[in-house]
Every structure is written in structure tokens, then in C-alpha cells.
Structure 1
């Protein structure tokens, strides 16, 4: 078995972060291939065979000749290989909440995503949030609070040990940091735990070594 995961720029690519964290969480050896997004060669590169199954989107995991794309699909595919308890809580009630939260993260929070794009290169001073972003932040932190208080007493993460839900919310943690979004103490402590996780430290180190700048993902103040 040979696993390879194709990801985008570590500074900007939130979905790539999720897929890459899933690969790390699996404990299986894998090859990492970084494909710079939106450079002069991107339109041509995304037509290559390694990106064709996902219609040019990242991340995409290849298990020998078997492609898997979409972060939740990658999580579940790897969980099937190594045991679901590595990714999901064993308790039925906890797993029900964890799956619901992961799916809501996959499909929701469009205001936060569009107005506060992932960018590990900066920590901006706080600014007033739009009502839509504020509603997303309140929903996310209320779910975190529910999970942590009900099922997370055995560790630093939402369901105790690091798992699929933490992987899905990891890019949100980076957004809260980048945009200096004020958080309740429990959410702030959780963000610190995710940020300090060894996998996140490795990802951030890789991001720090990148020199690609994607202008559309940089704020106007940084371009001036």
C-alpha cells in the first residue's frame, strides 16, 4: 500500500489541512505533494491525472490507484483502514454529536469562511465582525462548549483525545487566531490546545517555509 496526499498551499488551504491532518492521524506512512494553487501553471496542473477524479480540487488522497477526495471522505476511508476509534468517539452519544458537528462544519459557516479566509502568515488586529460572522462564531463555540462539557473531560480536545471533529475544526482555530476573534475561555483554551498539537506545529512550520503569495487571499491593508 502506498498513500499519497496532494494538498495546496499550507498558508491558505483549509481543506488541505483537514486531509493532511487525517493522514497524520491515521498513523500510516504517506507521501505529501504540495501543488501551489492559482500560480501560472495551476490551470494546466489541475488537469493532470492525479487531480482529475476531484475535478482539480485538493486535497485528494491516492491509495495506490484508488483516489479519495473530500476531507470527510478521506477521514472515513482512513478510519476504515486503521480503526474508527482512532478518529471517532466509541460512545454512541458522543459519536452521534461528533458526526453531526463534523458534517455541519463541512457544509456550513459560509460567512466565516468567505469573510475570514485561512491565512497563517498574519495575525490581524481585532475588527468588528459582521452579524453573519458573529452568528457563525457563536454557533461554533456553543457546539464546542457542548461537546467539551459532555464528552471532553478526558483530554484537551472536544471529545477528549484528538480526532475527526478536531481535524474538521482545525482551520477554524487558525481563523480565530488570524483575525484575533474574541472567544469564551473554554473555546480559547481549546484553540490553544489545537494550535499546539504536534501535527499543527508541523503544518505551521511547513507554511512558514512557503514563499507563494496568493493576492486574492491577502487583505487589502497587507497589499498597500
Structure 2
């Protein structure tokens, strides 16, 4: 039975990007269902797929899974031959911890620097709580790369579910020209160069639907 992944707009929906990126990167076949965000029809359309009323949602036969981190765990169980998490126990534990921290944390950074892939790279000033989030983020990435990153360009060497969780943050750092250390700069570049992310962004740049809440320059909408 074909898996179905319900997502929001590719330009803005960071939570949708996470499972889409993982499934695409690991060659897991699925049918994509895109429900545009913030439209009069959104609530009724998404309720047809998700009891939570949010994207993303994975439909796997009778199993309906919402929340990005839960979808990634479901996929890891469903496809044990796909190394969504690092094979080595210590690295896997660290990756799951880091991914869960992303799921529930870095609220200031996510609030002040929304994912917006068509915005030109331009800096903007951020409040102190956002700056603190960035400092913690860079420490986490550095720790993962130093301890487990040998053998590849991603947090645990090879691309994993943890990278899928942090990919939207990598776009934020680039979009808003946030200053980072060399380790983070190389990681941001690796995310942007991944073929699955390239495919997502190419589709995002073709979209036309505008979400005011995610346009930090509103009423101006800047596009590359």
C-alpha cells in the first residue's frame, strides 16, 4: 500500500519539510498531498486527513501519524533496512535527543526567523532570546560533528533523521545571514546541497501563495 504524506506549502512549512526530506533521501516511495496553509478551506481539507488538524500527516494504511518526530520514528520502524537513525547506539541516542530538542525547542529562533525559501539572503536584527537559541544550536551541531560526524558531512556523518529535523533551521541561518562558525557553515552548505533538499526548494520557488505571518518584511514580499 502506498504511503501518503500530507504537507503544507513548501516555501514555508518547515514541519512538512522534515519527513518529506527523510522519505525522499532514503528512497521511501510516497504519494504527496499538498494542502495550502492559511486558506478558508484549510481546516476542512486537513481534517479529512489528520485528527490534529495540522501538517504534516503520514497515512500508512490504517495508521495515521502526525507530528514530524513521530513520523520519523514510524518510518524507522516500518523500514528497518533504511538507516534513518545512526546504527551505533551512542550516536543513535544522541541523534534522537538532538532531534527531540529541535522538536520542542528553539522557539525564539523559529518565531523570529520563519522558514522562507524564496526570501533573498539578507540580515536582520534579532532579540537576545533568538541569539541565545543560535548559540545553543551551534554548540549542539559542533558536539554532534566532533563526536559522531566522521565519515560524512552531516551531524552523524551520513544523512539521518536528525538532519531532516534540523534542515529547516539550516535554511533560516542562510536566509537571514546569521553569523555562524565554520563547522555550522559547512553543515548548512551540506544541507542545501543534498539532492532531496534541492528538489524541495526548486518546487518551493515555483509556489505563489503568500503567508503574511512568515514574511518578516511584510507588506513587502521579497523573492529571489
Give the distance between the partners of 1:111 and 1:88, measured in 2 at CA.
27
Runs (4 or more) in structure 1 with deviation over 3 Å come to: none
Q: Report the counterpart of residue 88 of structure 1 in structure 2.
A: 85
| Bigger mean CA offset, 97-106 vs 20-29 | 20-29
Give the stretch that moved more between structures: 78-87 or 198-207. Answer: 78-87
Deviation, 1:65, is 2.6
Kindly state the Cα deviation for residue 128 of structure 1 after the two structures are TM-superposed. Answer: 2.8
Give ranges in structure 2 of 5+ residues lacking alignment: none
2:179 is aligned, of 178, 182, 194, to 182
SS at match of 1:33: strand
- Contact kept in structure 2, 1:194 and 1:200, CA below 8 Å: yes
- Structure 1 vs Structure 2 CA RMSD: 1.5
* C-alpha distance in 2 between matches for 1:122 and 1:186: 24
- Give runs of aligned pairs for residues 1-224 of structure 1, distance below 5 A: 1-48=1-48, 50-51=49-50, 53=51, 55-83=52-80, 86-221=83-218, 223=220
- The Cα shift of 1:219 comes to 2.0
- TM-score w.r.t. length of structure 1: 0.93
The structure-2 alpha-carbon separation of the partners of 1:161 and 1:209, relative to structure 1 and needing over 3 Å to count, comes to same
Distance in 1, Cα, partners of 2:57 & 2:218: 33
8 Å contact 2:26–2:82 — kept in the other structure?
no
- What SS class does the counterpart of residue 223 from structure 1 fall into? coil
Instruction: Name the CA distance, whole Å, in 1 between partners of 2:182 and 2:85.
Output: 25
- For 2:47 and 2:89, the matched residues in 1 are separated by 42
Runs (5+) with no aligned partner, structure 1: none
Calculate the TM-score normalised by the size of structure 2: 0.93
Q: Tell me the alpha carbon deviations over residues 174-205 of structure 1, each in whole angstroms, 9 at most, x when there is no partner.
A: 11111111110110010000111000001001
SS at match of 1:31: strand
Q: CA deviation at 1:84?
A: 6.6
> Alignment partner of 1:62: what SS?
strand
Q: Do the aligned residues in 2 keep the contact of 1:26 with 1:82 (CA within 8 Å)?
A: no
1:145, 1:138 → 2: CA distance?
A: 11
